[in-house]
Chains A and B, each alone.
Chain A
């Protein structure tokens, strides 16, 4: 059979198909969700689970970090993260800058056992080291979180306070968010096959406790607080110190600030 179709019909049918598809695609979910959703028209909730508004910020002072890795261990024990070095909600990076401005970065076992096992000299030999320092890393709790936007099932979300969490019951473990996070803060929990990430110890901060890594840091290289709290050291530092963020060019608006960032630190 020879198909004959006029230009007019082709355009007409094509346009109808397109419009129809759009209507179906956008309309059906709304219709179906109308049957199941219990939140339709609910007002925006301003307060956190403890009934208070919070403006939490996290400050990392790289000039104080001694790379002992106590934060990494405490995080894993507090949050039941596998102790294997591949799975980390937080880790400590060791930077080495040479006289030629080459930058070497490593994180021996995420620093869970400190950084004494293989020193810079042992690892890099006769490198002309200009300087070396530690940089603790964790989820930046971005105000514009790229990981949330890419989740195909809406399993990851930001709380009202801005903490980015994963709904473990909804997550299908597709790992799009691992790809999307510019800071490498997410990983797949091998036991449940769902995504896990730093929550700023949400179960602690909602009870007025600092995150575990902050609590155990022996040198106050990690600080956490509510900037609205007049007693808060973090609030004072945000007013007084000069703070940087990681990868500002990406527009993710992190809520983790760094003191003493070097240009090679990403």
Chain B
């Protein structure tokens, strides 16, 4: 009887000892030194990981042209690496950076989705671009630059734009489809210049337009707020082609 008890006690002691010893191998020395915080030095293995996304400012060292455009644009809120990916290897080892220039990349943010906040600019990427890539018209570093787009051919002798650019009769030349109806517009060049630069987004008119048919009453030389220089010579009935009231 006694030897059974002794053997049992011995077995328990041995098992406990084995458990404790085995457990000592993986458990770090400073386990639960201070509650959930474990003492035993800094978590160096995590601190010393390499930083892959190194920030936008270093891009300016080589890509001043694009950086300068981006700096003055609405996309300034977005880091270079948001679209181009992490730059560490590119800077340190000259590794190439690949970016998808197709419209689907733009669509990651700008494709129309009901789950997105309604105030965020969203478009039907396919129908807006009409088969073209977004970057045909939009500079991704400054998406509103040159909007409305400049006409990429000489206008002289081609007074009737609709001859070629018709929504119902898409053409051999030019964009097969344009993002707005064409019929109501008579003076395409007033927005789509062929030579002069159009600047950034079309400003909205900060007052409503009802009962103010003649814009030039106030907006002409010597009046309340003259037209900008590059608008001189335009007809009053073309203002609303681009400028809407708020």
Binding site for B on A (CB under 8 A): 1, 3-5, 13, 17, 20-21, 24-25, 28-29, 32-33, 36-39, 42, 44-45, 48-49, 63-70, 73-74, 77-79, 94-96, 113-116, 119-121, 129, 132-134, 144-145, 148-149, 152-155, 157-160, 164-165, 167-170, 172, 199, 202-204, 206-207, 209, 212, 215-220
Contacts and interface: CB of A to CB of B under 8 A. Distances in A.
B82 A216 contact: yes
Contacts of A64: 117
Interface stretch (B25-33, B60-68, B142-150, B152-160): B25-33
Contacts, number: 182
Given A116-B113, A202-B46, A203-B50, A153 B23 contact: yes
Contacts of B17: 24, 28
B33 A42 contact: yes
Interface residues of B, number: 57
B21 interface: yes
Contacts of A17: 9, 12
B43 A154 contact: no
Contacts of B40: 38-39
A21 B13 CA distance: 8
A243 B24 CA distance: 43
Given A3-B1, A160-B37, A203-B49, A67 B113 contact: yes
B47 A70 contact: no
A55 to B, nearest CB: 15
Given A116-B111, A219-B120, 9 more contacts: A3-B1, A28-B16, A44-B34, A70-B108, A78-B52, A96-B115, A153-B27, A157-B38, A218-B77
A170 B43 contact: no
B16 A169 contact: no
5 contacts: A20-B9, A45-B39, A67-B113, A77-B53, A158-B38
B45 A168 contact: yes
Contacts of A129: 114
Contacts of A65: 117
A148 B116 CA distance: 36
- Of B27, B28, B46, the most chain A CB neighbours within 10 A belong to B46
Interface of B: 1, 5, 9, 12-13, 16-17, 20-21, 23-24, 26-34, 36-40, 42-53, 55, 77-79, 81-83, 85-86, 104, 107-109, 111, 113-117, 120
A165 B41 CA distance: 13
Nearest to B115: A132
Nearest to A74: B53
Contacts of A66: 109, 113, 116-117, 120
Contacts of A38: 29, 40
Please classify the interface of chain B as helix (H, G, I), strand (E, B), loop, or mixed, using the class held by over half of its residues: loop
Nearest to A113: B108
Contact of A207 (B51, B77, B108): B51
Top 9 closest pairs, chain A to chain B, by CB: A154-B31, A157-B38, A203-B49, A114-B108, A132-B115, A153-B26, A39-B30, A216-B82, A158-B36
Contacts of B20: 25, 28-29, 32
Contact of B81 (A134, A165, A206, A216): A216
B26 A170 contact: yes
Contacts of A133: 115, 117
Contacts of A160: 37
B93 to A, nearest CB: 15
Contacts of A113: 108
A45 B27 CA distance: 20
Contacts of A39: 29-30, 33, 39-40
A203 B44 CA distance: 9
Given A39-B33, A45-B39, A49-B43, A24 B16 contact: yes
A167 B28 contact: yes
Contact of B36 (A33, A78, A145, A155): A145
Contacts of A155: 26, 28
A170 to B, nearest CB: 5
A116 B23 contact: no
Contacts of B50: 203
A33 B119 CA distance: 60
Contacts of B104: 116
